[in-house]
Structure 1
Amino acid sequence: MWDGRMFSKILIANRGEIACRVIKTARSMGIKTVAVYSDADLDALHVEMADEAVHIGEPAAAKSYLVIDKIIEACKQTGAEAVHPGYGFLSERAEFCERLKQEGIVFIGPNPKAIEVMGDKITSKRFASEAEVSTVPGYMGLIESPEDAKRIASQIGYPVMIKASAGGGGKGMRIAWNDEEAMDGFERAKSEAISSFGDDRIFIEKFIENPRHIEIQVMGDKHGNAIYLGERECSIQRRNQKVIEEAPSPLLDEETRRKMGEQAVALAKAVDYDSAGTVEFVAGQDKSFYFLEMNTRLQVEHPVTELITGVDLVEQMIRVAAGEELSIKQDEVKLNGWSVESRIYAEDPYRNFLPSIGRLTRYRPPVEGDHGGFVVRNDTGVVEGSEISMFYDPMIAKLVTYAPTRAEAIEGMSTALDEFQVDGIQHNVPFLASLMKHPRWRSGQLSTSFIDDEYPDGFEPATPDEEARNVLASVALSMHLIERERLDHLPGRLRPHHGGVRREWGVLINGEKLDAELIEGMAVTPLDIDVCVDGGLHARIASDWVPGDMLWKGHVAERPVSVQVRPIENGYQLDWQGYSVVAKVMTPRNAELAALMPEKVAPDTSSLLLCPMPGLVVSLNVEEGQEVKAGEQLAVVEAMKMENVLRAERDCVISAIKAAPGDSLAVDAIIMEFE
């Protein structure tokens, strides 16, 4: 039972990155921590970091992390005086807060009234409207059927957003542009909502075209004080899930920031808000804004706010939960510099960002701290050897950079992503690295449709321009020279090396031959040579790379360069700034002949429906012998709490069905065959 002083022990009712984040701050405050874990998280990082750990059940969240009784029992078992819920799971469940209160355990979050009023999207919009907060037009009543959804959507006017009342993280959310999409979106959103949140209530609102997503961080205490700590721009989204966040927003001026902040604080004070929370707005390009929802918890993207304000939000949550007054006044909040956050997801960007699971055979994030001009922070819940499970969110880490200006923070992020090494699963680092170089992103001309607009056909590695091609060729040549020199001078060779160093080479970049020449220097580590590539780039190459390193770091023509290296047959796969190339170095004649070799053609799978990700078959919507039209729904597969609808790409006839609802399938498993 808590005695009214600062807590001596808290339990984190969560897992992964956010559990580790809370443990770090609690440790710095001298507070002991308790982790909870499911069967799937037995060896997880948050379990290792905490002072104590309690097992709470099976891998499925509904049988472990979402079971209130198990969390309370873990508190009693360990003597934890308070619970930090993190984000997701039970973080916005008023029932959880009430149950803890009954047991004399403090909830490190807002009061139940705030959670109930603002955590429910339907109720919060009504409340905001009564409080004279600008809201998006929509229907806030409960919607019972797909037909009701179609009728209401038609009355509001397409496009509309169909949302789960208890939703979050992009789950239980669909955009509909016509009647058919409204009916289908209602069913999908309802199904996702019940499986993710245990609440299938749905509402519909007008979808603002070309909008920006801007949110205000608020913090309140139990003494009636509330402040705002600037804004975050979260417009770079895919499937309504945030991918890149930054603070402050490149859209806002001081006047608009003040208006949004004051409105957010007024709303928070109206419900006696007494913790960290976020008021989200949809903003027009003209700086108009409308209340979207309030998240009554810590946001995933809170680090960017912490870096530009210097405020540890987790610490403030713990202190106000313990009854302390806010030590920060509104006029003391200063925004300094710029911060960018990239969410590193376990998903395959080359296959429409489908989820990927497996073991992290390599996990080497960039070094945290000051990099001379920018700062790197990496919030994560994994280590090398950790397993990415199908049961939970696919986020691996949150990579954050901070610098004096937006341009410098972006450039720092580009460098940090180049150094972020992940193997064993597919991941979105190449996409993020490419995005950092995108002119529209760099200019700050953003909207929530950015990814759909700029990558309408999905993401593919960009074709290197001349400069990038020459840099990658120089890196490949430098590695080959070092490896060749080492082999030539191995002791015990049957035929000792007596010749000089070959000066002329051919480098194949994705099959394209470039002439390369070693002008000056010796191929030894540390490397310091002059090369000429394709008769154009004449550059000095310097690096400490040694054979076996998976990251080449050095300088090309005095430019700092970090390239990820994966050895392949007779060459290397090189990844840099979103480019991914196969590089091979050989004699000029061999390179000339190799460039003429035919490319291997992938097998034809057009007569098969393959499972695009490891997942669970939710439903099959066709039968053997059935004729289907292009665009018709064939099956629904659930992976990492998201339902994915698989549709026919052309008119066809179903010749055989190879899976059944309830089956767990591997990636590329055959679901059905077409005639």
Structure 2
Amino acid sequence: MFTKILIANRGEIACRVIKTARRMGIATVAVYSDADRDALHVEMADEAVPIGPAPAADSYLIADKIIAACKETGAQAVHPGYGFLSERASFCEALEAEGIVFIGPKPKAIRAMGDKIESKKFANAAKVSTVPGFLGVIEDAAHAERIAGEIGYPVMIKASAGGGGKGMRIAWNEEEVRDGFDRARSEAKSAFGDDRVFIEKYIVDPRHIEIQVLADAHGTTLYLGERECSIQRRNQKVVEEAPSPFLDEATRRAMGEQSVALAKAVDYQSAGTVEFIVDRDRNFYFLEMNTRLQVEHPVTELVTGIDLVEQMIRIAAGEKLTLAQDDIRLNGWAIESRLYAEDPYRSFLPSIGRLTRYRPPAEGKTGSSIVRNDTGVYEGAEISMYYDPMVAKLCTWAPSRLEAIDAMSDALDGFTVDGIEHNVPFLAALMRHPRWREGRLSTGFIAEEYPDGFMPMAPSADEAQVLARVALSAHLTDAARRAKHLDRLRPAQALRSDWVVKIGDDYYALTTADAVESDWRPGHAVWRGAVDGQSVTAQVRPLRNGMRIDWQGLSVLTRVFTPRLAELDALMPVKLPPDTSQMLLCPMPGLVVSIAVQEGQEVKAGETLAVVEAMKMENVLRAERDLTVGPIRARPGESLAVDAVIMEFA
């Protein structure tokens, strides 16, 4: 067994590998860019080596720097995590040439399966069911149009290298093929250094279901059940679960056996994932094989009890798997929610900044459920524009699917993040969605259920009553504290029985008898208690003359008044927001890639005005109406803050 390994990655996956290595008694080496000098994975590792500037292309993607770090520290093996160099056969070969073990598959398997075009050719030859498509070299946009017409719309344009939703577009007509082809190539070049793309038939109402495989160098190959990854946004997975609520045992076995056959055909050795698109009739089609650890691997670990990182390390060290296929049992249900640094109320655009408060829910077992949080950040850490926006992976396990969902809902309600925008409100709302709870999923779920984007939700009458009682309870607790310690409140005011809670534009008359019991104390972000027998976990943040309460995807501003003050408040004029309709504002912090117009140019609705890049994704900003371009305030290559003026309209 190895005595020291290097993790050629960053963030939560680097921390995840370090935890298992530490449990196995293996020393760890971290590498870090200038932007990650104070990162959590650097603090957790036994040693850390700097490898260059913040952009990944100048640090984490430079194989020679990783090898040099191994030589400097005496690391015997490298775990690549996912992304970066994890699926580059040349990196694996460079390590082998230096006598360093790659904790992953051999170059043959990486080459056969790591490239999406070649993997589909290989799968076809191996008689694996595949989606109809064109796997050759696509010369230009016109060629892409001809191919799409032959396959039949809709089609999917996908980058050959890499993954994670980068370089991927769905096209329903010729115009979208032309635009999607150019954008997919540009994103692929930026993210992976490889602008090749391919085109395949897009399956309507598909489910994204993947099989986890595990194989050693001694002829044993296993499948560890499936993960449902259908909840996606912009082809990026958001929520995953194991097992799938859709598969029956016969389909699960067929997919598993086919995955094992494919892995054996390429002499696969390590943990890997075979991804499938599954239609409404449970017909499944090979999508790709990820020759690495998947982001969503924790849900498989929770339902199987198998540490995949440990197995990868043991396999790389030449050990035999001690498991047989009959030993694999799926126990209970696990859910994973990806917490992203993005603004769900602004089309999920990236958000960067410092985590002024970061308080995940407590990990471990509570009652019949388990909470696990894989993260690579800490309170005070900086969320950078250079890397993926994922902050954490929150997982819950329970005996049944609905119990796991309810445990996730409670954990999300107690997950405190301040300083950046984040998608916890969306994730919390999703856990309450009837279609999600029923398991009626497809990869189009988010687009179908939130066609206009995720907007702030107004509470129902029953929800408003819960929120009002939480607000009153918190207010009375705070008032009692101030009366006791600061002596600034008149006793009559502190002890009065009649109150009015304002939520939005509505007023709710309550009495002290409506307040609910809680052990909450002023200054604590999470309020826990029971309202009419219902367990409630909410986040409370004091504001001037009020309090913001976040609960189950709802975010409301509350104010507690005496009845007379409530009457006066209702007479106050409403302040209107400033008019920004004559400006194009930068919707998120990012880099201006291009300006597509000139001052004085007349533009039609839908035409491109500018392209802004953040966290490895290009965002096209289009005109919402016919207009004339006025002064242009930003230039290509310039870094902008959120709401910075890019241009004005005449």
Equivalent pairs, count: 650
Per the alignment, residue 217 of structure 1 pairs with 212
Q: What is the SS of the residue equivalent to 2:396?
A: strand
Match of 1:653 among 628, 632, 635: 628
How many percent of aligned residue pairs carry the same amino acid? 70
233, 247, 250: which is aligned to 2:245?
250
Structure 1: distance between partners of 2:225 and 2:516 = 44
Q: Which residue in 2 is equivalent to 1:189?
A: 184
Tell me which of 340, 364, 377 is aligned to 2:372: 377
Contact 2:360–2:373 (Cα < 8 Å) also in 1: yes
The alignment partner of 1:505 has SS state of strand
Please say if 1:85 is aligned against 2:74: no
Picking from 163, 166, 180, the partner of 1:168 is 163
In structure 1, how many angstroms separate the alpha carbons of the residues matched to 2:430 and 2:365? 23
What is the rounded CA distance, in whole Å, between the counterparts of 1:95 and 1:310 in structure 2? 33
**Cross-structure match for 1:447:** 442
Partner of 2:526: 551
**Given the alignment, which residue of 509, 512, 515 partners 1:518?**
512
Query: Using the alignment, how far apart are the partners of 1:347 and 1:42 within structure 2?
Result: 23
- Once the two structures are superposed, the pairs formed by residues 161-310 of structure 1 within 5 Å of their partners are 161-310=156-305
The match for 1:426 is 421
RMSD: 1.2
**Is the 1:489–1:496 contact (alpha carbons within 8 Å) kept by the matching residues of 2?**
no
- Residues 479-531 of structure 1: CA deviation (Å, up to 9, x unaligned): 111222223334666x8646772011111011200110123xxxxxxxxxxx1
Q: Out of 57, 63, 70, which is 1:62 matched to?
A: 57
Larger deviation, residues 385-394 vs 555-564: 555-564
Contiguous gaps of at least 5 residues in structure 2? none
Among residues 476, 497, 501, which one is paired with 1:503 in the alignment? Answer: 497
Q: Residue 167 of structure 1 contacts residue 173 of structure 1 at CA under 8 Å; is this kept in 2? A: no
Structure 2 residue identity aligned to 1:376: V
Larger CA deviation: 433-442 vs 560-569: 560-569
Superposed CA deviations along residues 246-267 of structure 1, whole A, max 9, x for unmatched, are 0000000100000000000000
Q: TM-score, normalised by structure 1?
A: 0.95
Per-residue CA deviation, residues 339-370 of structure 1 (Å, 9 max, x unaligned), is 00000000000101000000000000000001
Mapped contact 2:476–2:494 kept (Cα < 8 A): no
Structure 1 segment 580-591 matched on structure 2, within 5 A: 580-591=555-566
Of residues 551-560 and 252-261 in structure 1, the stretch that sits farther from structure 2 once superposed is: 551-560
Q: 1:632 aligns with which of 607, 610, 617?
A: 607
Indicate whether 1:108 and 2:97 are aligned. no
Match for residue 14 of structure 2 among 19, 22, 30:
19
TM-score (norm 2): 0.99
Contact 1:513 1:592 in 2 (8 A): no
SS at match of 1:166: coil
CA distance in 2, matches of 1:652, 1:181: 23
* SS at structure 1 position matched to 2:538: strand
Deviation, 1:152, is 1.1
Residue 566 of structure 1: how far off its partner (Å)? 1.0
CA–CA separation in structure 2 for the residues paired with 1:600 and 1:239:
36
SS state at 1:57 partner: coil
| Code of the aligned partner of 1:589 | R
Of residues 566, 591, 616, the one that matches 1:641 is 616
Q: Shift in Å at residue 593 of structure 1?
A: 2.8
Displacement of 1:660 in angstroms is 1.4
Q: Please list every run of at least 4 consecutive aligned residues from structure 1 whose deviation after the TM superposition is greater than 6 angstroms.
A: none
Structure 1 residues 500 and 506: CA distance shift in structure 2, 3 A = closer
In 1, Cα distance between equivalents of 2:84 and 2:8: 8
In structure 2, C-alpha distance between the alignment counterparts of 1:491 and 1:88, rounded to whole Å: 55
Amino acid in the other structure paired with 1:340: I
Question: In structure 1, what residue type is equivalent to 2:222?
Answer: I
Q: Offset of 1:595 from its aligned partner?
A: 3.0
**Hey, what does 1:397 align to over in structure 2?**
392
The residue number in structure 1 matching 2:126 is 131
Deviations 1:272-320 (A, max 9, x none): 0000000000001211110000000000000000000000000000000
Amino acid at match of 1:639: A
Whole-Å Cα distance in 1 between the matches of residues 557 and 18 of structure 2? 42
- How has the CA–CA distance of structure 1 residues 497 and 93 changed in structure 2, closer, same or farther, with 3 Å as cutoff? same
Give 3-state SS (helix, strand or coil) of 1:543's partner. coil
User: Hey, what's the Cα distance between the residues in 1 that align with 2:111 and 2:627?
Assistant: 49
Go from structure 1 to structure 2 and tell me whether the alpha carbon gap of 1:502 and 1:55 turns closer, same or farther (over 3 Å shift): same
- Distance between the aligned counterparts of 1:467 and 1:67, measured in 2? 56
| 2: CA distance, partners of 1:59 / 1:320 | 33
Contact residue 150 and residue 182 of structure 1 kept, 8 A: yes
Match of 2:3 among 8, 27, 39: 8
